[in-house]
Amino acid sequence: MNRLANSLSPYLLQHKNNPVDWYPWGDEAFERAVREDKPIFLSVGYAACHWCHVMEHESFEDAAIADLLNQNFVSIKVDREERPDIDQVYMNAVQVMTGRGGWPMSVFLDHKRQPFFAGTYWPPKQKFGMPGFAQVLESLSEAWVNRREEVVSHANQITAALQQLADGTEGQSDAASASTTSASATPGSELVAAACEHLLEVLDRKWGGFGGAPKFPHATDLDLLLRMGQVNGDGTMLAAAELTLDRMATGGIRDHIGGGFSRYSVDGQWLVPHFEKMLYDNALLAEVYVRAFQVTGHQRHAEVARETLDYVCRELIDSAGGFHCSEDADSEGIEGKYYVWNPEQVEQVLGTESARDFCTVYDISEKGNFEGKSIPNLPQSISAWAEEMSVNEGELSAVLAGYREQLRVAREHRVHPGRDDKVVTAWNALMIKSLAIAGAVLNQPSYLTVAETAADFLLNHMTRDDGRLLHAFRGGKAHVDAYVDDYAFTIEAFIALFEATGRARWIGRAVKLADCMLEHFEDGECGGFFYTADDAESLIARNKDWHDGSLVSGNASAASGLLKLSQLCERQDFRDAAERTLVAGTTVMTNQSGACAALLAVLDHFHHGNQQLVLAVPDNEELVRIRPAFCAAYRPHAALSWVVGQAPESGPVVALNRGRDAIEGATTLYRCENFACDQPLRNEEVEQWLSDNRSS
C-alpha cells in the first residue's frame, strides 16, 4: 500500500494499492519535491468518475508508467469532492492551457505549486489522436531537467493568469467592482429578462435542454424559466422548462426502474447517460420538478420528484443520518451494466405477456439501444401509450409501476455499482432543502423527517465547537474546514426547513451561520464571497465562485440566503451584503448570463421580493393540516413565515412574526406587499385566499 491507505476519501482509497508512490495533498509531498528537485504530478478525480477509473487501470496500475512517475515526479492524488478549492484553482489552469476541462484532471506543478502543463485523460500509449501518458511524462521530465528556466517562466505566466481569473469577474470596470451599496450601482432586472431570452434562443426545441450533446440538466436554468414564467405569466418560458423536464423524465438519463437521474446524457436525446448518479444532481432536479408541479399543477412532475427522492432515501442515507455522495457508473468494471436489460431478463421477472408489454413501452429490444442491451426509456408518454393500447391511463400507470418495482427488486441481486459513502455538507444541504420543499408541497411528512434528521446530523457531526462548519465526513470522522457553499447551501436548507415546519430554531441556526460566513468569507473591498475562508490554506489563487456548474454558485446561494434572512429577521446588514454581491457580479450577469442563472434569480428577488406572508396557527396540528395549501404555489417573490401557538421563541428570531398571533385562536393570514399591509384574514377567509392565489 502507498500513503493513501490512511485516507478517509473512498476515491483516494481506490488508489492505495497502485504501484505509484502517491501522496495526499500536503507539505510532505512538496518538501520531498524540493529536496529531490522533482516536479509534481497532481491527479484530481472523484470516486464515481468513469474515465478516472479507466486511467487508473491503464496507467496507474501499470508498473512501467508507475516507475516513470516514481523516478521523475512526486505524485499527489486529490479527491475533488473533498478538496474543491484545489480542484477549482487547477481546473482553471487546465482550461487556460487547453481550452477545455474535465476529470481525471492531470496537472504538473513546479516547487511553488504553480502549474506548467495540464490535461485530463491520456491513454498509456498514443491513440485517439492523443499522445501516450508515458510519452507525456518523458517529455516533461526532459523539460524539467534541461529547460528549467522555460518551465518556470511558463508557470509564472499561467499563475498570473489564474490570479486574474480568480474572482470570476475579469474585465469588470473599477466602478462596478467597487464595494458599494448605492442603488444606482446595482444591476437592473433587465438582465434577468435578457438571460431568459438567451435561454429560449439556445433551447433545443425538439428534445429540450440547451445546446447539443453532451447534455446536462441545468437545473438552475430551468428554475429561472419557471420562476420568471410564473411571475410574468409567460407561457413560452414555462413551455420551454416543461419540454426539457418531460424529455429528461422520459429519457434514459432517468433511472426508470430505481428512480433518480444520472449525471448527464452523452447524446442530444437524453437516451444514453453517463451512468453515475450524484447526490447534488438528484437534489437540484427533485426541487425543480416540485417547482414545475407548483407552477403547472401537472402531477407527472410531482411523480418524478417523488421517485427521485425515494431513490435517495432508500439508497444514499448514511447510518449517521446524512447522505452519501454518489453511485458509480461502473459495476463489474463495465459502464452501465447494472442498469441495462434485454427482453429475456425482463421475461424472467415478469413472465412472457407482461414482459412483452413492458418491453414495448420502455424500448427494450433484442437489438438494444446501448451496446447490444437496452436502457429503459419512454419513446412516448404513458398517456400516449394508454391511448394506443386503448386502456385507462391511470390503470396502465399503476400496472407499469408494479412491473418497475418487481424489476427493481430483481436488479438488487446484480453486482451494485461502487458507492462513494462520504458525506459532504454542501451536497447534504441541497438534499435537505429539496426534501423540505417536497415534503411541504407534496404533503409527504416522511421527507420532512428525513430532512430534519439530516439537518441535525450537520449540527451534531459537521459543526465545530466554535460554530464553524466542517466539509466532509466518513466512518464517524468529520474533517476539512468548510467552504462558502457549505455555509450558503446550509443557510438556504435551514430556511426551507423553517418554511416547511414553522420551527424557528432553524432560522436561529441560519443566522449564526450567516454571521460566520460574512466574517470569514466576504470580500470586504470588492463585495462577494471567496470560496475559502480567510484562515484557510493559502493556494496560488483565492477564487470566487460565480458560475453555476454541477452546483449552484457559492455567491448566488450566499446572496439568496442573506436576502431571505434579511426579510425574516429585519437584518439590513444581510441585505447590504447581498447587494454588494450582486454589484460585484455585474459583469458575470451581463456577459455570461448563460452560466449564472442562480445569481440572476437572486437579482430578480432583490428588485421584486416585496411580499410577506405570515400564517399564524393555533397549534402544530393546524400547521400540518393547512401546510399543503400554504405551500402549494411557487411564490419566488414572497417571504413565508409561520407563527405556531404563542410561539414565544419565534419573535426574537423571526422579527417578521412580531405581534402576529392567531387572532382569538383562529388561523390568521397576514399579508404585506410594497411596504403596506392588508387586513388580516381568518379561518375560511384564509382558505379562500390560498385557493384563489394558487398560481400567484
Question: Mean pLDDT per 10-residue run, the chain (696 residues)?
Answer: 92 96 97 98 94 94 97 97 96 93 95 96 89 96 96 95 81 40 71 97 96 93 97 96 98 98 96 96 98 97 98 96 95 94 98 97 97 96 92 94 98 96 98 98 98 98 97 96 98 98 96 98 96 96 94 97 97 97 96 95 96 96 97 96 81 87 95 91 95 77
CA gap 211, 201 in Å, rounded: 10
DSSP string of 364-381, one letter each residue: --SS-SBTTBB----SS-
What domains lie within the chain, and their CATH numbers? 3-165 (3.40.30.10), 339-413 (no CATH), 611-692 (3.40.30)
Burial 543-568 (b: 16+ CB within 10 A, else e): bbbbbbeebbbbbbbbbbbbbbbbbb
Instruction: Please state whether beta strands 40-45 and 74-79 pair in parallel, antiparallel, or not at all (unpaired).
Output: parallel
Residue with cell 489563487: 541
3-state helix, strand, coil in the chain (%, to 5): 55, 15, 35
**Secondary structure element (H or E) that encloses residue 115, with its range:** strand 115-119
What is the structure's pLDDT at 528? 96
What is the structure's pLDDT at 170? 55
| Neighbouring residues of 444: CB distance < 8 A, sequence distance ≥ 6 | 306, 438
What is the structure's pLDDT at 174? 41
pTM of the model: 0.94
66's torsion region: left (phi>0), alpha (psi -120 to 50) or beta? alpha
Q: Where are the beta strands (DSSP E) in 575-682?
A: 611-617, 638-644, 668-673, 676-677, 681-682
Which is nearest to 199 in space by CA: 516, 537, 601?
A: 601
Which is nearest to 43 in space by CA: 63, 67, 68, 60?
A: 60
H helices within 323-424, ranges in order?
A: 343-350, 352-361, 382-389, 393-411
Burial 349-380 (b: 16+ CB within 10 A, else e): bbeeebbebbbebbbbeeebbbeebbbbbbee
What is the structure's pLDDT at 1? 81
Give me the half-sphere count of Cα atoms (radius 13 Å) on the Cβ side of residue 646. 1
Sheet holding 40-45, edge to edge: 22-24, 74-79, 40-45, 105-109, 115-119
Instruction: Please state whether beta strands 611-617 and 638-644 pair in parallel, antiparallel, or not at all (unpaired).
Output: parallel
The β-bridge partners of 261 are 254
CA gap 635, 496 in Å, rounded: 13
Cα angle for residues 610, 613, 619 (degrees, 5° grid)? 160
Rg (CA), the chain: 26
Q: Cell for 540?
A: 496560488
The β-bridge partners of 118 are 107
Q: Cell for 32?
A: 520531498
Burial 469-488 (b: 16+ CB within 10 A, else e): bbbbbbeeebebbbbbbbbb
